[in-house]
Amino acid sequence: MDLSKPFRVVLVTSTTDPAIDADAMLERVKLAGTECKRVEAYLATRDASHLVFRPATVPTWYELRPIKARELNALVDDLRAPTGAELWAIVARCLVSIDGVTWAEGDRVTVDAMRGTTVLSEQGMERVAEVAGLGGVRELGDAVLRRAVPPASALAPFASQPG
């Protein structure tokens, strides 16, 4: 998994995508030597191999770009407890596309013309909230945040737990 490349997610906690097989997502699987529910494995890794879809259904995929450390530092005060507004801002910066949604004029604004960097405007974010729901926006922001901030265990023995 290349953490520098855009990645795709399906909503499973806030508003479960109708294509998700909810019963199958409760099955027990192994993740890093530990047993957990399939949905927990997906949330921890965002690895699509943990997803199970109902037959003859197509999920809505959300494509997100990774966030740079500088951006994250400017947007989030406490990485362990981001606010709804902070998650909203992350999604505005990092959401690339939603399957089946075509952005209208005014949904995106250019913030860096030289690099071609755009973010979603308030109008664009309202469209995202209509499609994903407010909980979905928070889930998407959390997916970007989790991917950007490795767990302390990934840094050990070079980092210690706070306290």
Q: Which of 1-15, 78-92, 101-115, 146-160 has the highest mean pLDDT?
A: 78-92
Q: What does the pLDDT average to over 69-97?
A: 92
Res 44 pLDDT > 50: yes
Q: What are the structural domain ranges in the chain?
A: 18-58, 62-150
pLDDT at 155: 47
| Residues 97-139 pLDDT 10s | 999 999 999 999 988 777 777 899 999 999 999 999 999 999 9
Please, what sign has the CA dihedral across residues 84, 89, 93, 95?
Answer: positive
Res 151 pLDDT > 60: no
| Residue 19: both structure tokens together | 């294509």
| Residue 110: both structure tokens together | 């250019």
